[in-house]
Structure 1
Amino acid sequence: MAIALDEIIAGRAPGEHSQAAHHRFIITIFGVYGRPAGRALKVSTVVGLMSVLGYEPASVRSSISRLKKKGVLVPQAVDGAVGYALAEELEPHMIIGDERIFSPRSQGANEPWLMVSYSVPEAQRKNRQIIRTGLTRLGFGTVVPGLSIAPAHLRAEVMEYMTKHGVTEYVDYFASEPIGPGGMRQRVAQWWNLESLESHYREFVDLYEHEVAKWSTHTSTDLVSLRAAFQLYIPLLTHWRRLPYLDPGLPIEFLPDGWMGIRARRAFTELHRSIAPLAAAYVRREMA
């Protein structure tokens, strides 16, 4: 189960060593249209949907095979045809992810923080890497080596991760409130790489903000429109689902003026409202 969870989490990691786009798109398709986990999709349907996004059947089938080996997907026939479903054990994690992706919460300036302290014997340094990687991919900032911080509402996610990976014995959790004079704005800038984070938000804005006006007034529901909505929605959602994990909901009061994350969230929210129903209608046609 930990391997399957890692595959889902790794799909949110940015950078040149992240998963290939088509692989992440498949995870997105199952995460949206194969839910709740256990609802199977025909392989032929997934291949057809991915072809609309410009990917060859061979690469799609290869990624499905990899996801099966990782335990993310399990075989399940659909009307006598070959199909796959998300492993049902992933559903609690997917539900938490839905909330973070579609309804991201920002920490209030006066709310408590979650501190995670960990100490791992040298002989167990593999577990140290598991803990460090998980904290980073869940959006924690680093105070000092062995001590990480995040908004307190991430408690359930981080505890799930540590439990699934069997490393709870090395980890302690504390609720923390800043005391004394200010300085949290400066501290947040030290604990998180805000320059890098804002560049990811800016990239998202550059790619998708111009689509908002077009789709907010779009009324056609013909096949061409449904297909175009799907072609935009899957890359949009795949790109966006990384960002709430890089930014765990940092208080706006502690972020630089003109924070690009506000524009990025607005663009995603408006596009999601406009095109998600059209994309879903297209998928239903393909599944029929």
Structure 2
Amino acid sequence: MGSRQPKQLLLAFFGEHVVDGATGPIRASVLITVLEGADVAAPATRATLDRLVHSGVLARSRSGRETLFSLTEHGVAVLREAKSRVRGPRPFDPQGSGWTLVTFSIPEGQRMLRHRLRSTLTWEGFAPIRDGLWLAPGEVDLAGSLEPLRQDLAPNTVIAFHARELAGFPIAESVRAAWDIEAIRRAHLAFIDVWDDPHAAAMAPSALTVRTMLVADWLALLRADPRLPAEFMDAQWPATRSVQTYRRMHERLAEASAAEFADLVAARPAARRRSGSADRPSAPSPTPSGATRPR
């Protein structure tokens, strides 16, 4: 897989360990420690935290000499909206039949809002098929996905339709122009190459860091796969293997990562708990071809 971005890792951390818990603000030192294990330097983590504060996802506070970060209401809404797919049983299946079409108009002066809207549409499986017109498979719950942006969107900014293909006007060519299906396949295979390896759990010293990396890679894969209908795939399409791989590794890391998180949040030294030599090998195996692991 490609290099993991600090933003994706931080969103994975907060989505996995914070959004549904009773945890208070997280110390910057905790976040820096977790991301350093994923080969992200402290300055890059701090810069990304600043950007997440600026975008309204995180709020910053201080306690003595410590800088703390917590999710804002907007950040909670964004992560909870994504959770249904992140943890869903069939995350690569279309949401019903037909197609959802969206068009929108946002003034040039609201570039941040435009970026947030486009990012949300991409997460929901949309791709632009021509100027101002976006297409997604199935019947997308656009009201739910746009809820975190609702207060910032003026009336009639977004117009959406649910449509079906008409005889004589095949949609296949537009679908193949909008999405690189072979690139989606490669994204699945890269995920499987990294995380189906029996030594993947030891690619970083901390189970908490490894699980954060796993969820970050899963978020990237979910974003890459728009959930196209089965007729655009072949019998060897690897999505089912990706789901099995993710669930198996996620469960394998659960106990140790939860214990490490509790230690860090409680300001006690991480206990480096291990789930056993079989689960946490002493050294990682070589990186599979076409995949990337932290150095």
TM-score range, shorter-chain basis?
0.7 to 0.9
* SS, match of residue 206 in structure 1: helix
Residues matched between the structures, number: 259
Is residue 135 from structure 1 mapped to residue 121 from structure 2 by the alignment?
Answer: yes
Q: Unpaired segments of 5 or more residues in structure 2?
A: 267-295
Distance 2:57 2:134 in 1: 28
Q: 1:29: which partner in 2?
A: 13
Select 1:229's aligned residue among 204, 207, 217: 207
Deviating more after overlay: 195-204 vs 137-146: 137-146
| CA RMSD across the alignment | 3.7
1:1-288 correspondence to structure 2 within 5 Å:
21-36=5-20, 39-76=24-61, 81-103=66-88, 104=91, 106-107=93-94, 111-118=97-104, 120=105, 124=107, 130=115, 134-150=120-136, 151-160=138-147, 163=150, 165-166=152-153, 168-180=155-167, 188-211=175-198, 228-288=206-266
* SS, match of residue 49 in structure 1: helix
Distance 1:209 1:225 in 2: 12
Relative to 1, partners in 2 of residues 1:167 and 1:263: Cα closer, same or farther, differing over 3 Å? farther
TM-score normalised to structure 2 length:
0.71
Q: 1:134-173: per-residue Cα shift (whole Å, max 9, x none)?
A: 5345421334333222121342355336635525524321
Relative to 1, partners in 2 of residues 1:170 and 1:54: Cα closer, same or farther, differing over 3 Å? closer
Q: Is the 8 A contact 1:113 1:149 kept in 2?
A: yes
TM-score normalised to structure 1 length:
0.72
Q: 1:42-82: per-residue Cα shift (whole Å, max 9, x none)?
A: 22322333343344444433433333333322124569953
Q: Is the 8 A contact 2:38 2:204 kept in 1?
A: no
Q: Is the 8 A contact 1:25 1:235 kept in 2?
A: yes
Distance 1:168 1:192 in 2: 30
Q: In the alignment, residue 9 of structure 2 is paired with which amino acid? A: F
Q: Is the 8 A contact 1:202 1:260 kept in 2?
A: yes
Distance 1:142 1:64 in 2: 30
- In the TM superposition, what is the alpha-carbon distance from 1:41 to its structure 2 partner? 0.9
Distance 2:118 2:55 in 1: 21
Q: Is the 8 A contact 2:86 2:219 kept in 1?
A: yes
* SS, match of residue 82 in structure 2: helix
Distance 2:68 2:146 in 1: 32
